Structure 1
Amino acid sequence: MLEKTPIPQQETGWRALLSGENAIHSLVLSGGVALHALNIYVVTTIMPSIVREIGGLEYYAWSTTVFVAASILGAALSARLLGAVGAGGAYAIGALVFGLGTLLCAIAPSMAMLLAGRAIQGFGGGLLYALAYSVIRLVFRPELWTRAIGLISATWGTATLIGPAIGGMFAEFSTWRAAFWSLLPLTALLAALAFSTLPRKATNEEERTPLPVMQLLLLVGIVLALSVASTRGSAFEQIACVGAAIVLFLGLLLTERRAKGRLLPSGSFTLASPLAALYATITLLMIGLQPEIYVPYLLQELHELSPLLAGYIAALMSIGWTMGSMASAHWHGERAKQTIFAGPACGFVGLALIALFMPMAGAVFMAIAGPLCAGIIAVGFGMGFAWPHIVTAVYEFAPDGEAEKASSSITTVQLFAAALGAALAGLTANVAGIESPTQDGVALATTWLFWLFSLMPALAALTARRVWRARRQHA
């Protein structure tokens, strides 16, 4: 009797992911995320230098707002692009769009052109970021998916550390334009590598629901209306813009209820629904993070730190997010459920510490560095602490047959809330007088900014508690 030859088992560890053809695919996917993430942290660090040269401090927050708003559109359209031209073509197009925006930023003589470049960058970056998670299932075996996702997450964390260093070095030598120029060769290499190695076959395998174009446009309109409000000098104009944002939001609710192609799962706008409470929690937490965009500027203006050091201190918030996620990701049961409102509470404490210590311009910085840095870390830690279990709860409460939509909606809500928060931060900072020529005026604006935004995680703790109660009843 012949013995059966055993079928060799394929390796499923890191070696399998980082060798042969998989290594090239890993490089492309993580490279796209690295470009998107590095750009965010480099620009956050060099923005003070940019406004000193070309002006436009009143549009400071718009750099983040337009980038993230365009990223929302790019991420939403990534699946359609993937289906039309395949992974290789989609990645190449995303990289080329990102490169075009980077070029405009590098040569920008004014804030208007810089913002146009940031918008194009954001669209390309949104495509690359969303494509990374879509292409994983096309190029890797299922048993390698979790490791591939882990690699992408590690890439983002690495960019958190490297980005401020790169931006800080360019800012130190007053060559912020070179920061953008340095990204162009990497972008071109990514486009060529992706097009030559990733599958180029179209992936339209099933009928798709209509793209929620109107809802996406309304989302962007809300963000832009609030961004315009942050640049208006009169109270009447500011109120008019905020009113326009409210009207657009009501239009979003009406459109979402009636549209065939929905942006969010069923019940997302029903007040009694746990999903509504979850999305409200995500939105409030993300808005609470956005004053971070002013941290490098305030550290330089109020405490006379170098751009490099200010950028690294600002990056502590993202490091805190990673620490929070690692601390709670393996938790289960009742303890895991409680993180959903414990995280927002931690975020509130962090913003309160920043509000107390950041305005102390006359103090020796080393005397306040400890509590100030602890506050910045606590804001990110609170978000990361709750995040894995917020995502789990979204899956848990997703309506039957809408789990995929619920999954993709998390990114949409997250990006929208980030853009909304950046716009609100800009509006608050400008109204409070952050453009004041004196340190006392800037310090007063700082106090208003961080105390007002500390209300966001405080409210998130309340909405999260509703989710916790719903999960206990559901169990």
Structure 2
Amino acid sequence: MGSAVALCGGVVLHAINIYIATTILPSVVKDIGGLAFYAWNTTLFVVASIMGSALSGRLLRLAGPRGAYLVATLIFMLGSLMCALAPSMPLLLLGRTIQGFGGGFLFALSYTLIHLVFHESLWPRAMALVSAMWGVATLIGPAVGGIFAELNVWRYAFGMLVPVGLMFVLLVWHVMPARQATVKPVSPLPMPQLLLLAGAALVVSAGSLSSRGAINLGGFVVAVLMLLLLLRQESRSPVRLLPRGSLSPSSPLFGLYLTMSLLMMGIGCEIFIPYFLQTLHGQTPLAAGYITAAVAAGWTAAEVWSASWHARGARFAIIAGPVLMAIGLLMLLFHLPDASNGGSPLLIGIVCGLALIGFGIGFGWPHLLTHILLSAESIDQDTAGASITTVQSFAAAMGAALAGTIANLAGLNVPGGVAGASHAAFWLLLLSILAPLMAIVTAVRASSSVAVQTAAVKIHQ
């Protein structure tokens, strides 16, 4: 029980920080500038999370569950302190990077330890339990960020994460085992794959700083080339970032990972929602934070509802999820870009659209993650657990980078203001719909493997 609480606590700490940062970022930009770097706060944070997620298995083997959580939390606290003291956007971005590295450890350790703490039959419920902690974060994060932002003391929102981290350290020290029951040898790191993965997202973000389409396109082309090199390296290297067979179109893992990635890339527009709400609809930071949190609320509700489904229910959830997400983005497209004074009809449409986006992702999410673990070979269980957050984080980073590119090209920074925000919101939402539409195709393929694996689990049990 104590270990389960710690697993959930690590996700809560990581998730609360995300919602705090999302809520206060418009206030941060007003104070220290750097609107052109708006998306970089998320991209750098998530790219660093990729590195932390991928290294979590190695840290777990070297330090054990207790030591791994302690190291991850201390790194996270250091980044939070740097963000609180940052006098300029470059230093804030450095703090966000360190935060992301520690947060990536925390997030990945929670998923990696699920197959050690819980019985296999409880994995879907355990996935839902850990993921449901995002629901807790939606209640706390926007409130903390919004209140401090409205009081014009946004730095304290980051600073309070330090004492909270200290309390989590005490919890981990008392409840987590010092060592695993069975310690596997430390494997080499897939460093070339990690660097290519992180580099692809950073190249797209770097291109987004320019208002010239040719430079943006060039960054995207370089990123695609880096991903092709990554696939080549992964297929030939004995040291893997993903479980065996993940890159083969005939493997169940291929469709599962691709569906995950498309869903996460489609939600990249979320990082700009608080800014659009404050700029176009006159919302306060607190209100904007809670409206944006409708995504996480819908995600959590859908996961809790569908986590116990099997066979046909799981297949239906995986296929229906992208459809619901596309409908939610379409609702936002018709309501968010139009400037208003906070009129109820528009806000109701925005809240419903955001909640439906989250519901669409969460509907099949526990089944996608569970069947990644089930599809991986036994010797790849640690790799599979860490890969969940690696792939999720990379897709989120790429989604944020592409969102920043589209927003800047559409006029977010130049001409800026209400006109720029309205134009940016329209094109960002319109193009974001492409991701769930493609995910419908991959989800149909992924769901066919779910039926076979569910039957196999029942026979095994």
Q: Common fold, TM-score beyond 0.5?
A: yes
Mapped pair 1:78 → 2:53: no
Alpha-carbon offset, residue 363 of structure 1: 6.5
Amino acid at match of 2:261: T
Q: Which residue of 2 aligns with 1:459?
A: 438
Distance, in Å, in 2 between the alignment partners of 1:156 and 1:184 is 20
Alpha-carbon offset, residue 107 of structure 1: 1.0
Q: Which residue of 2 aligns with 1:237?
A: 215
Q: Which residue of 2 aligns with 1:131?
A: 109
Distance 1:473 1:130, change over 3 A: closer
Distance 1:30 1:164, change over 3 A: same
Q: Which residue of 2 aligns with 1:441?
A: 420
Amino acid at match of 1:329: A
Describe the SS at the equivalent of 1:348: helix
Distance 1:38 1:438, change over 3 A: closer
Alpha-carbon offset, residue 134 of structure 1: 4.6
Of the three residues 296, 305, 310, the one matched with 1:332 is 310
Range 279-288 or range 89-98, more displaced: 89-98
Of the three residues 311, 324, 347, the one matched with 2:325 is 347
Q: Which residue of 2 aligns with 1:252?
A: 230
Distance, in Å, in 1 between the alignment partners of 2:386 and 2:71 is 21
Alpha-carbon offset, residue 272 of structure 1: 3.9
Cα deviations by residue, 1:113-172 (Å, 9 ceiling, x for unpaired): 00100000111111122233455677x686998787665444332112110011000011
Distance 1:468 1:127, change over 3 A: closer
Amino acid at match of 2:429: F
Of the three residues 42, 46, 68, the one matched with 2:24 is 46
Matches within 5 A, 1:95-244: 95-134=73-112, 152-195=130-173, 198-201=176-179, 205-244=183-222
Instruction: Give TM-score scaled by structure 2 length.
Output: 0.90
Distance, in Å, in 1 between the alignment partners of 2:434 and 2:308 is 29
Amino acid at match of 1:53: D
Distance, in Å, in 1 between the alignment partners of 2:120 and 2:145 is 37
Range 411-420 or range 187-196, more displaced: 187-196
Instruction: Give TM-score scaled by structure 1 length.
Output: 0.88
Is the contact between residue 294 and residue 355 of structure 2 (CA under 8 Å) also seen in structure 1?
Answer: yes
Is the contact between residue 134 and residue 300 of structure 2 (CA under 8 Å) also seen in structure 1?
Answer: no
Describe the SS at the equivalent of 1:433: coil
Distance 1:40 1:33, change over 3 A: same
Is the contact between residue 85 and residue 202 of structure 1 (CA under 8 Å) also seen in structure 2?
Answer: no
Describe the SS at the equivalent of 2:189: coil
Distance, in Å, in 2 between the alignment partners of 1:166 and 1:44 is 11
Distance 1:339 1:145, change over 3 A: closer
Distance, in Å, in 2 between the alignment partners of 1:396 and 1:99 is 34
Q: Which residue of 2 aligns with 1:310?
A: 288
Q: Which has the larger radius of gyration?
A: 1
| Structure 2 runs not aligned, ≥5 long | 456-461
Describe the SS at the equivalent of 2:246: coil
Distance 1:473 1:99, change over 3 A: closer
Alpha-carbon offset, residue 386 of structure 1: 1.6
Distance, in Å, in 2 between the alignment partners of 1:84 and 1:399 is 23
Describe the SS at the equivalent of 1:177: helix
Distance, in Å, in 2 between the alignment partners of 1:213 and 1:265 is 16
Describe the SS at the equivalent of 1:360: coil
Is the contact between residue 302 and residue 439 of structure 1 (CA under 8 Å) also seen in structure 2?
Answer: yes
Amino acid at match of 1:306: T
Q: Which residue of 1 aligns with 2:459?
A: none
| Structure 1 runs not aligned, ≥5 long | 1-16
Cα deviations by residue, 1:84-103 (Å, 9 ceiling, x for unpaired): 22333322221211111111
Cα deviations by residue, 1:52-94 (Å, 9 ceiling, x for unpaired): 0111111111111111111111122122222222333322221
Describe the SS at the equivalent of 1:232: coil
Amino acid at match of 1:179: A
Indicate the RMSD between aligned Cα atoms, in angstroms. 2.6
Distance, in Å, in 2 between the alignment partners of 1:249 and 1:268 is 15
Distance 1:353 1:177, change over 3 A: same
Matches within 5 A, 1:12-91: 17=1, 22=2, 25=3, 28-91=6-69
Is the contact between residue 297 and residue 355 of structure 2 (CA under 8 Å) also seen in structure 1?
Answer: yes
Distance, in Å, in 1 between the alignment partners of 2:357 and 2:128 is 23
Is the contact between residue 131 and residue 300 of structure 2 (CA under 8 Å) also seen in structure 1?
Answer: no
Range 50-59 or range 458-467, more displaced: 458-467
Range 146-155 or range 109-118, more displaced: 146-155
